[in-house]
Amino acid sequence: MSLIRQLWLLLLATVMVGVLGSALVTVGSARGYLETQLRLKNSDNAQALALTLSQQNGDLALAELAISAQFDTGFYERISLRGPEGQMLVERLGAAEPTEVPTWFRGLVPIQSLPGVAQVSDGWRSLGTLEVVSASSFALDDLWQSSLRSAGWLVLIGLLAGALGSLVLRRIRAPLQATVDQARAIVERRFVTVPEPRVPELRQLSRAMNAMVQRLQAVFGEQGAQLEALRQQAQTDPLTGLSNRSHFLAQLSSMLVREDTPRAGVLLLARVHDLAGLNRNAGHAATDALLQTLALSLRSATAGGAAPMTGRLNGADFAVQAADADAAHVAAVLQTAVKTALKPWTGVRVAIGAVSWRAGDSVATLMQAADAALVRAETQDGFGLAVDGLSETNAETALGESGWRLLLRQALERGDAQLGSFPVIGRDARLLHLESPLRLRLHEGGAFEPAARWLPWVLRSQFSASTDLLAVRLALEQIALDGVPRGVNLAADSLADSGFLASLRGLVSAHAQAARVLWLEVGERAAVEQLPVLRDLGQQLRPLGVQLGLEHAGERLARIDRLYEAGLDYVKLDGALASGLAQDSTRADFVRGLAWTLHGLEIRVLAEGVADAADAQALWACGLDGITGPWVSTQPLR
């Protein structure tokens, strides 16, 4: 039984005992008072009548006449006169008076009318004994009416006491409920503080809970700072803050093989000529300042592009990747930015080589082509530039935005799509779920195209919400058929659509059984830029059994403020973290710390892009709960 219910019962019992006790005391006091009044009346009337009879000189007829006169003028039950030897001389008896008093009340609270006794004498000669008994029915009526009035007042007082007690209990219950909600919020990985109540005991409880919440927030903040330090150590160049060589190449490799990668882009290499000579002539500090300025100019020049990446490959070499961009244009912009930034350093030469890429290209091939372009640029004076563009016509660009919009609208209206299937397995090699990227058939009778071909145009045409709803519907229908859990990724642009969440909830509610094994994931950018929307998504879908997670995570995960409030069930680390993990102990330390922190928040940690058994074993050693990637697709499932 809850504490509040016990307090309610205690309050009710106290009020009832008070009311019943007061009623008993009031009725008992009134009964005693009325019996006393009847006894005094009987005594006084007996004495007065006896005095009258004593003056009759023993005339029995006159005595009977006086007794009758007294009996008829009052309310008496009995008046009797007995002789000296006890014989009855005169007796008048009254009939029972009608009364509205219930029988149970008369039996429970009877009123006794004690007889008044007086001696009748003639001088020194005793003539007899007179007894006067007044009728008690009128006293009983009065007692009944006064009891009703008293009961009414006592009930009213009891109700007022109950109302006052209710207010007091509400004041007690409010901070208790706030504390309960605070504890539930901690379980749900939301840390909130509550106002301290005025009740001293409850104030101490709320103060202790608030202190615990603040301590937990501080602990997770410290862990986030430690993870960010590990990330910086594992992924960035300490001098420039850009991605180091291993991380940049891992990012590039992961992007080229993902289905949701941009269709094409440009890779640029920049090299500072004779860095060792600059270091000797200008000094270490000046050279460091030059490299930092160059890094800032490279990062700033590509900041507005789609999924830009910037890294320092070694002492003098830098790399830039920009998706959905023209190689010649990006290279020219980058050359201008570098020239402007390095004006204070005279005699500095920077060569830039650029090469276009397409999804599916290998990193080794791209780096060789970019290096070849860089060699040609180095033969030029000053800030040399060499660009190798795409040799084939860009059919996607030739269609134009209106053409793509028409193709996509028609495909979505037809529902002409299917889902891919890539297994995600746990430590015991059992299937956790199937990654199910959407593939659209743009032309009737044609092939189903991966997202790399049409996703940029979906985002540009603002069809992401419709596309994601189609993917979720297909996943739910497939689950209903075979019962296999499936995961679908949602675009950040869909979360920004005002009607998307309501439509998604309606769709999931309509497939309540299948929704219990549905996994939905959003990109890391959504957690950074749309944390409130992500939290609302979790609050709406998690009661239906849907698992919510982040995909391609790791680059900015440690910097997401209040990640513990996002309501995530799992985090899927980007392939750039998994690739080559077995040979990179620093990155392994970062992944291990990240997994430990997320497990502390009761968030499962998965990894994508696992390409070989060594990386898989390294990930298991770091404490991950599941993996997916090319290597996983070749393994037998349990």
- Report the CATH number that the domain containing residue 324 is assigned in CATH: 3.30.70.270
Q: What's the N-to-C CA distance of the chain in angstroms?
A: 46
Q: Phi, psi (5° rounding) for residue 423?
A: -70, 145
Q: Residue 172 falls within a domain, yes or no?
A: no
| Residues 384 and 451 occupy one common structural domain | no
| Residues 341 and 403 occupy one common structural domain | no
Q: Residue 167 falls within a domain, yes or no?
A: no
Q: How large is the average pLDDT for residues 200-221? A: 78
Angle CA(346)–CA(352)–CA(358) in degrees, nearest 5? 160
| Residues 313 and 438 occupy one common structural domain | no
To the nearest 10 degrees (0 to 180), the angle between helices 585-600 and 613-621 is 50
| Residues 445 and 371 occupy one common structural domain | no
Among 410, 503, 405, CA closest to 456: 405
Q: Residue 227 falls within a domain, yes or no?
A: no
Q: What is the CATH number of the domain that holds 515?
A: 3.20.20.450
Q: Residue 231 falls within a domain, yes or no?
A: no
Give the range with max mean pLDDT: 84-98, 249-263, 270-284, 429-443: 429-443
Band of residue 432 on the pLDDT scale cut at 50, 70, 90 = very high
Boundary (domain end) residue, out of 388, 412, 444: 388
Boundary (domain end) residue, out of 388, 415, 445: 388
How many domains are there within the chain?
A: 3
Band of residue 312 on the pLDDT scale cut at 50, 70, 90 = very high
Mean confidence (pLDDT) of the chain: 84
- Domain of 484 in residue numbering reads as 399-633
| Residues 251 and 379 occupy one common structural domain | yes
Boundary (domain end) residue, out of 332, 362, 388: 388
Please check whether residue 419 is in contact with residue 437, taking contact to mean a CB–CB distance below 8 angstroms: yes
| Residues 383 and 411 occupy one common structural domain | no
What's the confidence (pLDDT) of residue 311? 92
Q: Residue 266 falls within a domain, yes or no?
A: yes
| Residues 315 and 417 occupy one common structural domain | no
Q: How large is the average pLDDT for residues 417-432? A: 92
Q: Which two tokens stand for residue 318?
A: 């830098």
Residue 394 has pLDDT above 60, yes or no: no
Residue 175 has pLDDT above 90, yes or no: no
Q: Residue 218 falls within a domain, yes or no?
A: no
| Residues 376 and 418 occupy one common structural domain | no
Residue 254 has pLDDT above 90, yes or no: no
Q: Which two tokens stand for residue 420?
A: 């891919």
| Residues 418 and 455 occupy one common structural domain | yes
Band of residue 2 on the pLDDT scale cut at 50, 70, 90 = low
Band of residue 110 on the pLDDT scale cut at 50, 70, 90 = confident
| Residues 290 and 341 occupy one common structural domain | yes
| Residues 415 and 367 occupy one common structural domain | no
Kindly list the distances between the CA atom of residue 98 and the CA atoms of 101, 106, 110, 138, in Å, as whole numbers in the listed order: 9, 13, 16, 9
Q: Residue 230 falls within a domain, yes or no?
A: no
Band of residue 153 on the pLDDT scale cut at 50, 70, 90 = confident
What's the confidence (pLDDT) of residue 469? 94
| Residues 338 and 418 occupy one common structural domain | no
- The tens digit of pLDDT for each residue in 342-380 reads 888 888 889 999 998 887 788 888 888 888 888 888 878
Neighbours of 186 (CB within 10 A): 16
Task: Annotate 267-302 with DSSP letters as a single string.
Answer: EEEEEETTHHHHHHHH-HHHHHHHHHHHHHHHHHHT
Q: Residue 442 falls within a domain, yes or no?
A: yes
Write the Ramachandran bin of 189: left for phi over 0, alpha for psi from -120 to 50, otherwise beta: left
Distance, CA of 435 to CA of 432 (rounded, Å):
10
